Structure 1
Amino acid sequence: MGDTKGAGGKVSGQHGVPGVQSIDRAMSLLSVFSTARPVVGVSELARATGLARGTAHRLVAALVSHGLLTQVPDTTSYCLGPRLLGLAEVARQQISLEAQAGPVMAWLRDRSTETVGLHILDDLPSRRTIAQAESPHALRRTYTDLGAPRPPYQGAPGKLLLAHAGEELRRRVLEGAIPTADGESELDAADLTSELTAILRDGFALSLQERVPGVVALAVPVRDHRGVVAAALSISIPSVRAGRDELLALVPLAEEAAEQLSERLGYTGANPAPTGPAQP
Protein backbone atom coordinates (compact mmCIF):
# COMPACT_ATOMS: atom_id res chain seq x y z
CA MET A 1 0.00 0.00 0.00
CA GLY A 2 1.05 3.63 -0.46
CA ASP A 3 0.60 6.37 2.08
CA THR A 4 -2.84 6.68 3.56
CA LYS A 5 -4.37 9.62 5.35
CA GLY A 6 -4.87 9.23 9.04
CA ALA A 7 -6.79 11.35 11.50
CA GLY A 8 -6.82 15.01 10.65
CA GLY A 9 -5.88 14.37 7.03
CA LYS A 10 -2.24 13.61 7.88
CA VAL A 11 -0.35 10.97 5.94
CA SER A 12 0.92 7.83 7.56
CA GLY A 13 3.93 6.22 5.91
CA GLN A 14 3.26 2.70 4.68
CA HIS A 15 5.37 0.72 2.24
CA GLY A 16 4.09 -0.48 -1.12
CA VAL A 17 4.23 0.27 -4.82
CA PRO A 18 7.40 2.28 -5.63
CA GLY A 19 6.62 5.94 -6.17
CA VAL A 20 3.09 5.80 -4.80
CA GLN A 21 4.21 7.03 -1.38
CA SER A 22 5.75 10.14 -2.91
CA ILE A 23 2.62 10.83 -4.94
CA ASP A 24 0.42 10.45 -1.88
CA ARG A 25 2.66 12.79 0.09
CA ALA A 26 2.73 15.36 -2.70
CA MET A 27 -1.07 15.25 -2.92
CA SER A 28 -1.34 15.73 0.83
CA LEU A 29 0.80 18.86 0.53
CA LEU A 30 -1.30 20.27 -2.33
CA SER A 31 -4.48 19.54 -0.37
CA VAL A 32 -3.36 21.89 2.41
CA PHE A 33 -3.94 24.88 0.11
CA SER A 34 -7.44 26.34 0.00
CA THR A 35 -9.22 29.62 -0.60
CA ALA A 36 -8.96 30.24 3.13
CA ARG A 37 -5.25 29.32 3.17
CA PRO A 38 -3.79 30.17 -0.27
CA VAL A 39 -0.22 30.83 0.94
CA VAL A 40 1.60 28.35 3.19
CA GLY A 41 5.16 27.95 4.44
CA VAL A 42 7.12 24.70 4.53
CA SER A 43 6.93 24.36 8.31
CA GLU A 44 3.14 24.77 8.23
CA LEU A 45 2.90 22.24 5.40
CA ALA A 46 4.92 19.78 7.45
CA ARG A 47 2.70 20.26 10.50
CA ALA A 48 -0.52 19.98 8.49
CA THR A 49 0.52 16.72 6.82
CA GLY A 50 2.55 15.12 9.60
CA LEU A 51 5.64 14.94 7.40
CA ALA A 52 9.16 15.69 8.55
CA ARG A 53 10.20 19.22 7.58
CA GLY A 54 13.04 17.94 5.42
CA THR A 55 10.68 15.61 3.56
CA ALA A 56 8.16 18.39 3.06
CA HIS A 57 10.91 20.71 1.77
CA ARG A 58 12.13 18.14 -0.79
CA LEU A 59 8.58 17.52 -2.03
CA VAL A 60 7.88 21.25 -2.26
CA ALA A 61 11.02 21.71 -4.37
CA ALA A 62 9.88 18.92 -6.70
CA LEU A 63 6.40 20.43 -7.01
CA VAL A 64 7.92 23.85 -7.76
CA SER A 65 10.06 22.33 -10.52
CA HIS A 66 6.91 21.01 -12.19
CA GLY A 67 5.01 24.29 -11.83
CA LEU A 68 2.51 22.81 -9.37
CA LEU A 69 3.69 25.17 -6.62
CA THR A 70 5.41 28.53 -6.84
CA GLN A 71 7.27 30.57 -4.25
CA VAL A 72 5.66 33.85 -3.31
CA PRO A 73 8.12 36.67 -4.15
CA ASP A 74 10.18 38.02 -1.25
CA THR A 75 8.89 35.33 1.13
CA THR A 76 9.67 31.74 2.10
CA SER A 77 6.05 30.71 1.53
CA TYR A 78 4.39 29.01 -1.42
CA CYS A 79 1.13 29.09 -3.35
CA LEU A 80 -0.38 26.85 -6.01
CA GLY A 81 1.49 27.03 -9.29
CA PRO A 82 0.52 28.12 -12.82
CA ARG A 83 0.56 24.63 -14.31
CA LEU A 84 -2.52 23.81 -12.29
CA LEU A 85 -4.47 26.41 -14.28
CA GLY A 86 -3.95 24.48 -17.50
CA LEU A 87 -4.78 21.17 -15.86
CA ALA A 88 -7.88 22.68 -14.28
CA GLU A 89 -9.09 23.95 -17.66
CA VAL A 90 -8.72 20.48 -19.19
CA ALA A 91 -10.64 19.00 -16.26
CA ARG A 92 -13.31 21.69 -16.48
CA GLN A 93 -13.98 20.88 -20.12
CA GLN A 94 -14.46 17.21 -19.30
CA ILE A 95 -16.42 17.74 -16.11
CA SER A 96 -19.12 19.86 -17.73
CA LEU A 97 -22.62 19.58 -16.35
CA GLU A 98 -24.25 18.05 -19.42
CA ALA A 99 -21.40 15.63 -20.12
CA GLN A 100 -21.52 14.26 -16.58
CA ALA A 101 -25.31 14.28 -16.25
CA GLY A 102 -26.15 11.80 -19.02
CA PRO A 103 -25.25 8.54 -17.25
CA VAL A 104 -26.77 9.71 -13.97
CA MET A 105 -30.02 10.78 -15.62
CA ALA A 106 -30.27 7.43 -17.39
CA TRP A 107 -29.66 5.68 -14.07
CA LEU A 108 -32.44 7.65 -12.39
CA ARG A 109 -34.81 7.18 -15.35
CA ASP A 110 -34.27 3.42 -15.34
CA ARG A 111 -34.96 3.12 -11.63
CA SER A 112 -37.91 5.48 -11.45
CA THR A 113 -39.23 4.54 -14.94
CA GLU A 114 -40.21 8.21 -15.30
CA THR A 115 -38.85 11.17 -17.26
CA VAL A 116 -35.81 12.83 -15.72
CA GLY A 117 -34.91 16.46 -16.48
CA LEU A 118 -31.84 18.64 -15.94
CA HIS A 119 -32.48 22.33 -15.33
CA ILE A 120 -30.45 25.49 -14.78
CA LEU A 121 -31.23 29.06 -13.73
CA ASP A 122 -29.98 32.02 -15.77
CA ASP A 123 -29.68 35.68 -14.83
CA LEU A 124 -32.87 36.89 -16.53
CA PRO A 125 -33.90 35.06 -14.31
CA SER A 126 -35.38 32.06 -16.12
CA ARG A 127 -35.41 28.34 -15.61
CA ARG A 128 -34.18 26.40 -18.63
CA THR A 129 -34.38 22.63 -19.19
CA ILE A 130 -31.15 21.60 -20.90
CA ALA A 131 -31.47 17.81 -21.06
CA GLN A 132 -33.90 14.96 -20.46
CA ALA A 133 -34.00 11.18 -20.21
CA GLU A 134 -37.48 10.14 -21.31
CA SER A 135 -39.62 7.58 -19.55
CA PRO A 136 -40.18 4.26 -21.38
CA HIS A 137 -43.92 4.48 -20.65
CA ALA A 138 -46.20 5.20 -23.59
CA LEU A 139 -47.85 7.89 -21.45
CA ARG A 140 -45.00 10.07 -20.27
CA ARG A 141 -43.79 13.62 -19.77
CA THR A 142 -41.67 14.86 -22.67
CA TYR A 143 -39.95 18.25 -22.60
CA THR A 144 -40.64 19.90 -25.94
CA ASP A 145 -39.14 23.22 -24.86
CA LEU A 146 -35.49 22.31 -24.24
CA GLY A 147 -33.47 25.49 -23.77
CA ALA A 148 -36.51 27.78 -23.70
CA PRO A 149 -36.78 30.28 -20.81
CA ARG A 150 -39.54 29.62 -18.29
CA PRO A 151 -40.51 31.57 -15.14
CA PRO A 152 -38.45 30.21 -12.22
CA TYR A 153 -41.35 30.36 -9.78
CA GLN A 154 -43.48 27.89 -11.79
CA GLY A 155 -42.80 24.19 -11.28
CA ALA A 156 -40.56 22.17 -8.98
CA PRO A 157 -37.18 22.67 -10.75
CA GLY A 158 -37.55 26.44 -11.03
CA LYS A 159 -38.65 26.88 -7.43
CA LEU A 160 -35.78 24.75 -6.18
CA LEU A 161 -33.24 26.76 -8.17
CA LEU A 162 -34.84 30.02 -7.07
CA ALA A 163 -34.71 28.94 -3.43
CA HIS A 164 -30.95 28.41 -3.72
CA ALA A 165 -30.28 31.52 -5.81
CA GLY A 166 -28.62 34.67 -4.56
CA GLU A 167 -30.68 37.13 -2.54
CA GLU A 168 -30.58 39.83 -5.24
CA LEU A 169 -31.96 37.48 -7.89
CA ARG A 170 -34.70 36.19 -5.59
CA ARG A 171 -35.65 39.77 -4.74
CA ARG A 172 -36.01 40.65 -8.42
CA VAL A 173 -38.44 37.78 -8.85
CA LEU A 174 -40.45 38.42 -5.70
CA GLU A 175 -40.76 42.15 -6.31
CA GLY A 176 -41.92 41.69 -9.90
CA ALA A 177 -45.06 40.23 -11.45
CA ILE A 178 -45.44 36.52 -10.62
CA PRO A 179 -48.38 35.23 -12.68
CA THR A 180 -49.53 31.64 -12.50
CA ALA A 181 -48.86 29.33 -15.46
CA ASP A 182 -52.34 29.90 -16.91
CA GLY A 183 -51.93 33.67 -16.62
CA GLU A 184 -55.28 34.06 -14.91
CA SER A 185 -53.96 35.16 -11.52
CA GLU A 186 -50.78 36.03 -9.65
CA LEU A 187 -48.94 34.20 -6.92
CA ASP A 188 -48.68 35.88 -3.56
CA ALA A 189 -45.09 36.95 -2.85
CA ALA A 190 -45.36 36.07 0.84
CA ASP A 191 -46.66 32.59 0.04
CA LEU A 192 -43.90 32.03 -2.50
CA THR A 193 -41.30 33.22 0.01
CA SER A 194 -42.60 30.71 2.56
CA GLU A 195 -42.46 27.93 -0.02
CA LEU A 196 -38.88 28.78 -0.95
CA THR A 197 -37.93 28.71 2.71
CA ALA A 198 -39.55 25.28 3.07
CA ILE A 199 -37.63 24.02 0.02
CA LEU A 200 -34.34 25.06 1.62
CA ARG A 201 -35.38 23.30 4.82
CA ASP A 202 -36.60 20.09 3.16
CA GLY A 203 -33.97 19.85 0.43
CA PHE A 204 -36.44 19.23 -2.40
CA ALA A 205 -39.34 20.85 -4.25
CA LEU A 206 -42.66 19.46 -5.45
CA SER A 207 -45.10 20.56 -8.11
CA LEU A 208 -48.63 19.17 -8.44
CA GLN A 209 -49.86 20.16 -11.93
CA GLU A 210 -48.56 23.62 -11.17
CA ARG A 211 -46.99 24.51 -14.50
CA VAL A 212 -48.23 21.79 -16.88
CA PRO A 213 -51.73 20.37 -16.39
CA GLY A 214 -51.64 16.62 -15.89
CA VAL A 215 -47.99 16.54 -14.76
CA VAL A 216 -46.53 16.30 -11.26
CA ALA A 217 -42.83 16.64 -10.46
CA LEU A 218 -40.15 16.71 -7.83
CA ALA A 219 -36.72 18.36 -7.99
CA VAL A 220 -33.51 18.09 -5.98
CA PRO A 221 -30.31 20.20 -6.06
CA VAL A 222 -27.05 19.36 -7.83
CA ARG A 223 -23.90 21.05 -6.46
CA ASP A 224 -20.65 21.79 -8.24
CA HIS A 225 -17.08 21.67 -6.90
CA ARG A 226 -17.64 24.91 -4.97
CA GLY A 227 -20.72 23.59 -3.20
CA VAL A 228 -22.92 25.95 -5.24
CA VAL A 229 -26.27 24.62 -6.49
CA ALA A 230 -25.55 24.53 -10.23
CA ALA A 231 -28.62 22.65 -11.46
CA ALA A 232 -31.80 20.86 -10.51
CA LEU A 233 -32.50 17.21 -11.26
CA SER A 234 -36.20 16.41 -11.63
CA ILE A 235 -38.57 13.49 -12.04
CA SER A 236 -41.80 14.31 -13.92
CA ILE A 237 -44.81 11.97 -13.98
CA PRO A 238 -48.31 12.07 -15.50
CA SER A 239 -50.72 12.86 -12.67
CA VAL A 240 -52.80 9.76 -13.46
CA ARG A 241 -49.83 7.72 -12.26
CA ALA A 242 -48.64 9.71 -9.26
CA GLY A 243 -49.55 12.29 -6.66
CA ARG A 244 -47.85 13.83 -3.64
CA ASP A 245 -47.26 10.51 -1.82
CA GLU A 246 -45.68 8.88 -4.88
CA LEU A 247 -43.42 11.89 -5.39
CA LEU A 248 -42.28 11.84 -1.77
CA ALA A 249 -41.47 8.15 -2.08
CA LEU A 250 -39.12 8.97 -4.98
CA VAL A 251 -37.23 11.73 -3.17
CA PRO A 252 -34.50 9.44 -1.72
CA LEU A 253 -33.82 7.95 -5.16
CA ALA A 254 -33.61 11.43 -6.72
CA GLU A 255 -31.29 12.59 -3.95
CA GLU A 256 -29.03 9.59 -4.52
CA ALA A 257 -28.79 10.50 -8.22
CA ALA A 258 -28.11 14.16 -7.37
CA GLU A 259 -25.31 13.08 -5.03
CA GLN A 260 -23.79 10.99 -7.82
CA LEU A 261 -23.88 13.91 -10.25
CA SER A 262 -22.56 16.34 -7.64
CA GLU A 263 -19.60 14.04 -7.02
CA ARG A 264 -18.94 13.88 -10.77
CA LEU A 265 -18.81 17.69 -10.74
CA GLY A 266 -16.22 17.68 -7.97
CA TYR A 267 -18.40 18.24 -4.91
CA THR A 268 -16.97 16.52 -1.85
CA GLY A 269 -19.81 17.22 0.55
CA ALA A 270 -17.72 19.62 2.59
CA ASN A 271 -18.42 23.32 3.12
CA PRO A 272 -21.46 23.75 0.86
CA ALA A 273 -22.10 27.29 -0.28
CA PRO A 274 -24.41 29.04 2.17
CA THR A 275 -28.03 29.58 1.23
CA GLY A 276 -30.77 31.35 3.09
CA PRO A 277 -34.46 32.00 2.99
CA ALA A 278 -35.72 34.30 0.30
CA GLN A 279 -36.61 37.83 1.26
CA PRO A 280 -39.72 39.56 -0.10
Structure 2
Amino acid sequence: MSTIAKAFELLELFTDARPRLGLSDVQRLTARDKATLHRHLVALEKIGFLEQDSETRAYCLGPTLTRLAGMRARTVPEVEMVRAVVDALSREAGELVHVSRLRGFDLVDVYHAEHHSHPVRVSFDAYGLPPLFATASGKAFLAFSPASKLIEALDVPRTWVTPENHPDKIALRAELDAIARCGYARSRDTLRTGVSSVAIPLFDANHVAVATCAIAFPTGRGGADTEQRLAGLLMAAGAEMSRALGGDVPRNVRDIWTMSREKAAL
Protein backbone atom coordinates (compact mmCIF):
# COMPACT_ATOMS: atom_id res chain seq x y z
CA MET A 1 0.00 0.00 0.00
CA SER A 2 1.37 3.43 -0.91
CA THR A 3 2.23 6.07 1.67
CA ILE A 4 -0.63 8.26 0.46
CA ALA A 5 -3.11 5.38 0.73
CA LYS A 6 -1.91 4.58 4.25
CA ALA A 7 -2.35 8.21 5.28
CA PHE A 8 -5.86 8.50 3.84
CA GLU A 9 -6.83 5.16 5.38
CA LEU A 10 -6.57 6.90 8.77
CA LEU A 11 -9.62 9.01 7.90
CA GLU A 12 -11.74 5.84 7.95
CA LEU A 13 -10.98 5.45 11.66
CA PHE A 14 -13.24 8.38 12.51
CA THR A 15 -16.86 7.36 13.13
CA ASP A 16 -19.91 8.61 14.99
CA ALA A 17 -18.71 6.62 17.99
CA ARG A 18 -15.12 7.90 17.56
CA PRO A 19 -15.34 11.51 16.34
CA ARG A 20 -12.04 12.46 18.04
CA LEU A 21 -8.85 10.43 18.18
CA GLY A 22 -5.47 11.09 19.71
CA LEU A 23 -2.18 9.72 18.42
CA SER A 24 -2.28 6.87 20.96
CA ASP A 25 -5.82 5.98 19.86
CA VAL A 26 -4.76 5.83 16.22
CA GLN A 27 -1.77 3.67 17.08
CA ARG A 28 -3.96 1.28 19.08
CA LEU A 29 -6.45 0.96 16.21
CA THR A 30 -3.85 0.48 13.48
CA ALA A 31 -0.88 -1.16 15.28
CA ARG A 32 1.46 0.95 13.13
CA ASP A 33 4.71 2.72 13.97
CA LYS A 34 3.99 5.75 16.16
CA ALA A 35 6.47 8.09 14.47
CA THR A 36 5.09 7.26 11.01
CA LEU A 37 1.52 7.74 12.19
CA HIS A 38 2.42 11.15 13.62
CA ARG A 39 3.86 12.25 10.27
CA HIS A 40 0.71 11.12 8.47
CA LEU A 41 -1.58 12.89 10.92
CA VAL A 42 0.41 16.11 10.69
CA ALA A 43 0.34 15.95 6.89
CA LEU A 44 -3.43 15.42 6.87
CA GLU A 45 -3.87 18.36 9.23
CA LYS A 46 -1.80 20.68 7.04
CA ILE A 47 -4.07 20.11 4.04
CA GLY A 48 -7.26 20.41 6.08
CA PHE A 49 -8.36 16.80 6.12
CA LEU A 50 -7.93 16.79 9.91
CA GLU A 51 -8.12 19.36 12.67
CA GLN A 52 -6.29 19.14 15.99
CA ASP A 53 -7.61 20.47 19.28
CA SER A 54 -4.93 22.75 20.74
CA GLU A 55 -5.73 21.65 24.29
CA THR A 56 -6.48 17.92 24.08
CA ARG A 57 -4.26 17.31 21.01
CA ALA A 58 -7.01 15.05 19.66
CA TYR A 59 -7.81 15.05 15.96
CA CYS A 60 -11.18 15.31 14.22
CA LEU A 61 -12.17 15.43 10.56
CA GLY A 62 -11.30 18.74 8.94
CA PRO A 63 -13.03 21.37 6.75
CA THR A 64 -11.49 20.22 3.47
CA LEU A 65 -13.64 17.10 3.62
CA THR A 66 -16.76 19.24 4.02
CA ARG A 67 -15.79 21.36 1.03
CA LEU A 68 -15.03 18.35 -1.17
CA ALA A 69 -18.22 16.56 -0.14
CA GLY A 70 -20.26 19.64 -1.01
CA MET A 71 -18.49 20.00 -4.35
CA ARG A 72 -19.20 16.37 -5.20
CA ALA A 73 -22.87 16.78 -4.34
CA ARG A 74 -23.08 19.89 -6.56
CA THR A 75 -21.11 18.65 -9.53
CA VAL A 76 -21.68 14.88 -9.76
CA PRO A 77 -25.24 13.80 -10.69
CA GLU A 78 -26.67 10.99 -8.58
CA VAL A 79 -26.93 8.80 -11.65
CA GLU A 80 -23.14 8.96 -12.04
CA MET A 81 -22.64 8.21 -8.35
CA VAL A 82 -24.42 4.85 -8.56
CA ARG A 83 -24.02 3.85 -12.22
CA ALA A 84 -20.96 1.60 -11.81
CA VAL A 85 -22.31 -0.21 -8.75
CA VAL A 86 -25.76 -0.77 -10.26
CA ASP A 87 -24.33 -1.96 -13.58
CA ALA A 88 -22.09 -4.47 -11.80
CA LEU A 89 -24.96 -5.67 -9.62
CA SER A 90 -27.25 -6.13 -12.63
CA ARG A 91 -24.64 -8.23 -14.41
CA GLU A 92 -24.14 -10.40 -11.33
CA ALA A 93 -27.86 -10.77 -10.63
CA GLY A 94 -28.84 -11.18 -14.28
CA GLU A 95 -31.91 -9.02 -13.65
CA LEU A 96 -33.21 -5.46 -13.66
CA VAL A 97 -31.71 -3.33 -10.86
CA HIS A 98 -33.00 0.13 -10.01
CA VAL A 99 -32.16 2.81 -7.45
CA SER A 100 -34.93 5.19 -6.38
CA ARG A 101 -34.75 8.38 -4.34
CA LEU A 102 -37.59 9.25 -1.96
CA ARG A 103 -39.18 12.61 -2.76
CA GLY A 104 -41.82 12.98 -0.10
CA PHE A 105 -43.58 9.63 -0.47
CA ASP A 106 -42.84 9.22 -4.17
CA LEU A 107 -40.23 6.77 -5.44
CA VAL A 108 -38.33 8.69 -8.14
CA ASP A 109 -35.97 6.78 -10.42
CA VAL A 110 -32.29 7.67 -10.05
CA TYR A 111 -30.78 5.00 -12.30
CA HIS A 112 -31.68 1.54 -13.54
CA ALA A 113 -29.82 -1.11 -15.51
CA GLU A 114 -30.65 -4.45 -17.05
CA HIS A 115 -27.61 -6.42 -18.19
CA HIS A 116 -28.68 -9.95 -19.09
CA SER A 117 -29.70 -12.11 -22.02
CA HIS A 118 -32.98 -13.54 -20.71
CA PRO A 119 -35.71 -13.42 -23.37
CA VAL A 120 -38.30 -12.60 -20.69
CA ARG A 121 -37.71 -9.20 -19.10
CA VAL A 122 -39.39 -6.90 -16.61
CA SER A 123 -40.62 -3.68 -18.20
CA PHE A 124 -39.66 -0.63 -16.17
CA ASP A 125 -41.29 2.80 -16.23
CA ALA A 126 -38.63 5.26 -15.16
CA TYR A 127 -41.15 8.10 -15.05
CA GLY A 128 -43.89 6.32 -13.12
CA LEU A 129 -44.54 6.94 -9.44
CA PRO A 130 -45.65 3.58 -8.03
CA PRO A 131 -47.70 3.45 -4.81
CA LEU A 132 -45.33 3.18 -1.87
CA PHE A 133 -47.13 0.27 -0.20
CA ALA A 134 -47.31 -1.72 -3.46
CA THR A 135 -43.53 -2.01 -3.86
CA ALA A 136 -40.68 -3.76 -2.13
CA SER A 137 -38.76 -0.47 -2.36
CA GLY A 138 -41.45 1.44 -0.49
CA LYS A 139 -41.67 -1.13 2.26
CA ALA A 140 -37.88 -1.33 2.60
CA PHE A 141 -37.80 2.44 3.09
CA LEU A 142 -40.58 2.44 5.69
CA ALA A 143 -39.19 -0.57 7.59
CA PHE A 144 -35.95 1.28 8.27
CA SER A 145 -37.48 4.70 8.93
CA PRO A 146 -38.98 6.11 12.14
CA ALA A 147 -42.50 4.88 12.97
CA SER A 148 -43.79 8.40 12.35
CA LYS A 149 -43.04 7.94 8.61
CA LEU A 150 -45.54 5.10 8.43
CA ILE A 151 -48.24 7.21 10.10
CA GLU A 152 -47.59 10.05 7.67
CA ALA A 153 -47.62 7.73 4.65
CA LEU A 154 -50.91 6.13 5.65
CA ASP A 155 -52.56 9.55 5.43
CA VAL A 156 -51.59 9.89 1.74
CA PRO A 157 -53.98 7.85 -0.48
CA ARG A 158 -51.58 7.71 -3.42
CA THR A 159 -49.27 5.52 -1.33
CA TRP A 160 -51.92 2.78 -1.06
CA VAL A 161 -51.95 -0.27 -3.32
CA THR A 162 -55.37 0.88 -4.58
CA PRO A 163 -56.93 4.28 -3.83
CA GLU A 164 -60.09 2.63 -2.50
CA ASN A 165 -58.50 0.39 0.12
CA HIS A 166 -56.79 1.85 3.16
CA PRO A 167 -53.94 -0.45 4.28
CA ASP A 168 -54.42 -2.48 7.46
CA LYS A 169 -52.14 -0.64 9.88
CA ILE A 170 -51.61 -3.58 12.23
CA ALA A 171 -50.82 -6.06 9.45
CA LEU A 172 -48.57 -3.53 7.72
CA ARG A 173 -46.64 -2.76 10.92
CA ALA A 174 -46.08 -6.49 11.47
CA GLU A 175 -44.81 -6.84 7.90
CA LEU A 176 -42.45 -3.89 8.27
CA ASP A 177 -41.12 -5.30 11.55
CA ALA A 178 -40.40 -8.59 9.79
CA ILE A 179 -38.60 -6.72 7.01
CA ALA A 180 -36.47 -4.86 9.55
CA ARG A 181 -35.47 -8.17 11.12
CA CYS A 182 -34.45 -9.91 7.89
CA GLY A 183 -32.91 -6.84 6.21
CA TYR A 184 -34.87 -6.68 2.95
CA ALA A 185 -38.38 -6.35 1.58
CA ARG A 186 -40.08 -8.57 -0.97
CA SER A 187 -42.95 -8.13 -3.39
CA ARG A 188 -44.62 -10.87 -5.43
CA ASP A 189 -47.26 -10.01 -8.03
CA THR A 190 -48.38 -7.01 -5.97
CA LEU A 191 -47.99 -4.10 -8.35
CA ARG A 192 -48.12 -6.18 -11.53
CA THR A 193 -48.96 -9.84 -12.03
CA GLY A 194 -45.89 -11.79 -13.05
CA VAL A 195 -43.38 -9.37 -11.49
CA SER A 196 -41.53 -9.90 -8.22
CA SER A 197 -38.84 -7.85 -6.52
CA VAL A 198 -36.58 -7.57 -3.49
CA ALA A 199 -35.29 -4.27 -2.09
CA ILE A 200 -33.11 -2.71 0.57
CA PRO A 201 -32.84 0.84 1.94
CA LEU A 202 -29.89 3.14 1.21
CA PHE A 203 -28.75 5.63 3.83
CA ASP A 204 -27.33 9.15 3.98
CA ALA A 205 -24.39 10.29 6.12
CA ASN A 206 -26.69 10.60 9.15
CA HIS A 207 -27.84 6.98 8.85
CA VAL A 208 -31.28 8.06 7.60
CA ALA A 209 -32.95 5.98 4.87
CA VAL A 210 -33.28 8.27 1.84
CA ALA A 211 -33.22 5.91 -1.14
CA THR A 212 -33.70 2.29 -2.09
CA CYS A 213 -32.20 -0.29 -4.40
CA ALA A 214 -34.32 -3.11 -5.81
CA ILE A 215 -33.93 -6.09 -8.10
CA ALA A 216 -37.03 -6.90 -10.15
CA PHE A 217 -37.52 -10.23 -11.90
CA PRO A 218 -40.28 -12.21 -13.61
CA THR A 219 -42.12 -14.25 -10.97
CA GLY A 220 -41.81 -17.32 -13.15
CA ARG A 221 -38.01 -17.10 -13.04
CA GLY A 222 -37.85 -18.58 -9.55
CA GLY A 223 -39.26 -18.88 -6.07
CA ALA A 224 -37.79 -18.54 -2.59
CA ASP A 225 -34.28 -19.62 -3.62
CA THR A 226 -34.13 -16.96 -6.32
CA GLU A 227 -35.47 -14.34 -3.94
CA GLN A 228 -32.87 -15.18 -1.29
CA ARG A 229 -30.03 -15.18 -3.81
CA LEU A 230 -30.95 -11.76 -5.18
CA ALA A 231 -31.57 -10.32 -1.72
CA GLY A 232 -28.14 -11.57 -0.69
CA LEU A 233 -26.55 -9.75 -3.61
CA LEU A 234 -28.37 -6.56 -2.63
CA MET A 235 -27.31 -6.74 1.00
CA ALA A 236 -23.71 -7.45 -0.01
CA ALA A 237 -23.71 -4.30 -2.16
CA GLY A 238 -25.75 -2.10 0.17
CA ALA A 239 -22.83 -0.46 1.96
CA GLU A 240 -21.05 0.36 -1.30
CA MET A 241 -24.21 1.88 -2.79
CA SER A 242 -24.84 4.01 0.29
CA ARG A 243 -21.23 5.20 0.19
CA ALA A 244 -21.59 6.05 -3.51
CA LEU A 245 -24.42 8.40 -2.52
CA GLY A 246 -22.28 9.94 0.21
CA GLY A 247 -23.93 7.97 3.01
CA ASP A 248 -23.19 5.20 5.47
CA VAL A 249 -25.10 2.11 6.62
CA PRO A 250 -25.85 1.98 10.37
CA ARG A 251 -23.97 -0.76 12.22
CA ASN A 252 -27.17 -2.53 13.30
CA VAL A 253 -28.33 -2.77 9.67
CA ARG A 254 -24.91 -4.07 8.58
CA ASP A 255 -25.22 -6.76 11.25
CA ILE A 256 -28.73 -7.71 10.08
CA TRP A 257 -27.53 -7.97 6.48
CA THR A 258 -24.59 -10.14 7.51
CA MET A 259 -26.78 -12.47 9.59
CA SER A 260 -29.38 -12.77 6.81
CA ARG A 261 -26.75 -13.65 4.22
CA GLU A 262 -25.10 -16.20 6.50
CA LYS A 263 -28.48 -17.78 7.29
CA ALA A 264 -29.34 -18.03 3.59
CA ALA A 265 -25.99 -19.71 2.89
CA LEU A 266 -26.69 -22.55 5.34
User: One fold, TM greater than 0.5?
Assistant: yes
Q: Quote the residue 1:204 is aligned against.
A: 184
- 2: CA distance, partners of 1:139 / 1:23: 45
Match among 104, 129, 142 for residue 162 of structure 1: 142
* 3-state SS in 1 of match to 2:190: coil
Instruction: From the superposition, tell whether residues 180 and 213 of structure 1 become closer, same or farther in structure 2 (CA, over 3 Å).
Output: farther
Task: Give 1:82 deviation, angstroms.
Answer: 2.3
* Match of residue 190 from structure 1: 170
Superposition deviation, residue 162 in structure 1: 1.3
Q: How does 1:1-280 map onto structure 2 within 5 Å?
A: 20=2, 24=6, 26-27=7-8, 30-42=11-23, 44-45=25-26, 59-72=40-53, 76-90=57-71, 92=73, 97-122=78-103, 124-134=104-114, 136-146=117-127, 148-174=128-154, 177=157, 180-223=160-203, 227-243=207-223, 246-258=226-238, 260-262=240-242, 264-265=244-245, 271-272=251-252
Partner in structure 2 of residue 7 of structure 1: none
Deviation at 1:206, TM superposition (A): 1.5
Task: List runs of 5+ in structure 2 lacking aligned partners.
Answer: 255-266
The structure carrying a bigger helix percent of its residues is 2
Equivalent-residue separation in structure 2 for 1:126 and 1:175 (angstroms):
14
Distance 2:4 2:117 in 1: 50
Task: Name the CA distance, whole Å, in 2 between partners of 1:273 and 1:246.
Answer: 22
RMSD of aligned alpha carbons: 3.9
Amino acid paired to 2:145: A
Distance of 1:52 and 1:111 partners within structure 2: 41
| Alignment deviations for residues 16-70 of structure 1 (CA, whole Å, 9 cap, x no partner) | xxxx45863x446545544344344455555555567666555544433333333
- How many percent identity over aligned positions? 29
Q: Distance in 1 between matches of 2:24 and 2:33?
A: 9
Unaligned runs of 5+ in 1: 3-19, 275-280
Work out the CA distance in 1 between the residues paired with 2:230 and 2:4.
Answer: 45
3-state SS, counterpart of residue 235 of structure 2: helix
Supply the distance in 2 between the matched residues of 1:267 and 1:23 (Cα, whole angstroms).
21
The SS at the match of 1:142 is coil
- Cα distance change, pair 175–75 in 1 and its aligned pair in 2 (3 A): same
How far residue 204 of structure 1 moved from its aligned partner, in angstroms, is 1.7
SS at match of 2:132: coil
Cα distance in 2 for residues equivalent to 1:56 and 1:207: 50
Change (3 A) 1:183 1:260: same
Structure 1 residue 159: Cα displacement: 0.9
Q: Is the 8 A contact 2:204 2:248 kept in 1?
A: no
Which AA in structure 1 matches 2:146? Answer: G
State the alpha-carbon separation in 2 of the partners of residues 209 and 184 from structure 1.
19
Which structure has the bigger radius of gyration?
1
Query: Cα offset for 1:193?
Result: 0.7
CA distance in 2, matches of 1:130, 1:262: 13
CA–CA distance in 2 between the matches of 1:43 and 1:256? 33
Give 1:87's aligned amino acid: L
What TM-score, normalized by structure 1, do the two folds share? 0.69
Residue type of the partner of 1:154? A
Alignment: residue pair count:
255
Structure 1 residues 197-256: Cα deviation after superposition (integer angstroms, max 9, x where no partner): 111112221212212233222223344565544432222233454555543453333434
Question: Residues 139-198 of structure 1, C-alpha deviation per residue, up to 9 Å, x if partnerless?
Answer: 42222243x433321111111111112232122124565875343423211111111111
TM-score, L = length of structure 2? 0.72
What code does the residue aligned with 2:151 have?
Answer: R
